[in-house]
A and B are shown apart, each in its own frame.
Chain A
């Protein structure tokens, strides 16, 4: 009797597990063709968090491009589950070296920590192109390597958004910044871009705190900020997820009408908020194009058609008027 009950529970558990596996099997199709046709270069795309909509768009863009250029190269796209997991990304690059790929296009999880392993790849004769998050210039100099960077200028993007905001404010108005992860290069650049434009327009930055790119954390931080600064006029968020949290906090405090919110990344949820007027503007870095540009550039270098140099990709301001 007792046996029967246990095996009954086991059967249920196995059933549930099997269903989960099936579900994930249907949706999670991984194309990894290691056996390349001879002569066709193999390009490894090593990404940051696959959990992030931005990198997902980036990866999809690369996969689409590869599908349209099947005869030109093979793509191995890899990412790490957590964008702070430097160790995992390090291992990934070493795997790619061992697989003797021809080029590695990498969005480094850390702008310093990943320089060493990238140098190992270059020493093994692999072309390395840096995308999205730029390697630290000093660290590159210390290692004695130069790796071309293809990607957006985050600082410029942030400046565009903040300049647009400045038009809606008066000099002397108080503003606050919600930062991303303080050690991330793009978070630092976005913060600087906000500061550039706000200082130039003579606004007063009264507060700047990190919400680690997260919606619910941004809600708590903004909620505290608006209590502290009763006359705050605008909040500049280093990404859209945090802008969503900022809007939730302002709404709960009844301050949504007198505090403007700026985002970054142009995710679809932010577009909805812009239509409602809750978010003023955001910035589009055309994520789908960043990896593609990196790959094309790597192929050009492989063919000897390009000399390794930095290349900037497009950054555009998006306002409610841009969304139909």
Chain B
């Protein structure tokens, strides 16, 4: 548990500060609504953590999210397809984008930064083409998805939590998870010991694309519509959350749970600043400062730590 001390401390301080300064902040309602607004970030943080662990990066997640929700919207509105078909098409779109990212990266050994930067552009372009640059409104067609909730927590939030838990288990307790860490730490060494890095990377990028589509579904069910500009700049929000969580941009190190803490920190900060009524420039300034401060505070977790990070422990399954 000691490895989460720094994160918990940052979250608790933020909550304490905003409870004292922002009107009506410390309420169950605040936390319930904030939770319901972050499933798409949690879901993508899982995918991004994996991508960063294998020493890649995925800049296309925001655009792929927009494309997937555009496909959902167009299937429901223009072609009037049944909901399951539209959802499948939407997931397929995300999966395909991820597979293209992965296969281009692997087949030509291109830096994923470049491949996904290209996908960021291409998927955004496709989104505009698919939607005819019009916001698609489909709330009446997705009633089945919006009506489910447990204790006021929406279905997308519960799914996001499940994905995060599953993501952490796969990372720490499976051979696949250990392979990802091995490749991110030293790809050549991993290859020489009989792991095929290309297959693992292909799967990781494809998974990230698929998760972008799941995130798109989570967002669309809440907003009831798909805007062609949705998810602009979203990749940076996700990367910031994952990096606050201590995942290394150099690969080989990171955990899903800590990334989720990063998401929570950014969400609470954003919510608090809105409830304070802070002006736009102030919000940006403070967000920047808190990102750095959170990473610095977390740096001192090493002084509390007795056990090494789970990703650094040798796994019995390897």
Contact = CB atoms under 8 A, between A and B. Distances in A.
B224 A244 contact: yes
Q: Is the interface of A mostly helix, strand, loop or mixed?
A: helix
A244 B107 contact: no
A137 interface: no
A20 interface: yes
A6 B202 CA distance: 12
Interface stretch (B78-86, B95-103, B302-310): B95-103
B25 interface: yes
A253 interface: yes
B58 to A, nearest CB: 16
A63 B224 CA distance: 32
A24 B270 CA distance: 37
Contacts of A245: 223
A228 interface: yes
Contacts of B34: 223
Contact of A6 (B107, B126, B227, B229): B107
A252 B154 CA distance: 10
A13 B100 contact: yes
Interface string B207-237: 0000000000001001111011111100000
B275 interface: yes
Given A52-B133, A56-B133, A244-B224, A227 B125 contact: no
A52 B127 CA distance: 12
Interface string B262-278: 00000000110011010
Nearest to B119: A20
Interface string A2-15: 00001001101100
Q: Looking at chain B, what size class is its interface with the partner chain?
A: 35 or more
A215 B230 contact: yes
A209 B133 contact: no
Given A13-B103, A13-B107, A241 B135 contact: yes
A110 interface: no
Nearest to B281: A182
Interface residues of A, number: 49
A219 B103 contact: no
Contacts of B133: 50-53, 56
Given A24-B126, A182-B280, A216-B219, A53 B134 contact: yes
Interface stretch (A128-136, A166-174, A188-196, A267-275): A267-275
A38 interface: no
Given A24-B129, A52-B229, A223-B37, A228 B275 contact: yes
B126 A20 contact: yes
A238 to B, nearest CB: 13
Nearest to B136: A269
Interface string A201-214: 00000010110011
B22 A228 contact: yes
B137 A269 contact: yes
Given A10-B107, A27-B129, A253-B33, A228 B277 contact: yes
B248 interface: no
B36 interface: yes
B275 A224 contact: yes
A248 B223 contact: yes
Nearest to B274: A224
Interface in B25-63: 25, 27, 29-30, 33-34, 36-37
Contact of B227 (A81, A182, A225, A241): A241
Most buried by A among B29, B33, B96, B274: B274
B70 to A, nearest CB: 12
Interface string B131-174: 01111110100000000000000100000000000000000000
B24 interface: yes
B141 to A, nearest CB: 11
Contact of B230 (A12, A216, A247): A216
A35 interface: no
Contacts of A182: 280
B122 interface: yes
A9 B103 contact: yes
A52 B64 CA distance: 18
Contacts of A50: 128, 133
A23 B137 contact: no
Contacts of A221: 274
Nearest to A6: B107
Contact of B135 (A224, A253, A268): A268
B60 to A, nearest CB: 13
B15 interface: no
Contacts of A207: 277
Contacts of A321: none
A51 B228 contact: yes
Interface in A222-243: 223-225, 227-228, 230, 240-241
11 contacts: A16-B99, A17-B100, A24-B129, A220-B274, A228-B277, A230-B24, A244-B223, A267-B134, A268-B135, A269-B134, A273-B137
4 closest cross-chain pairs (CB), A and B: A224-B274, A269-B137, A56-B133, A13-B103
Given A56-B132, A248-B223, 12 more contacts: A13-B107, A51-B228, A209-B277, A214-B230, A216-B231, A220-B270, A223-B33, A224-B275, A245-B223, A253-B29, A269-B136, A272-B139
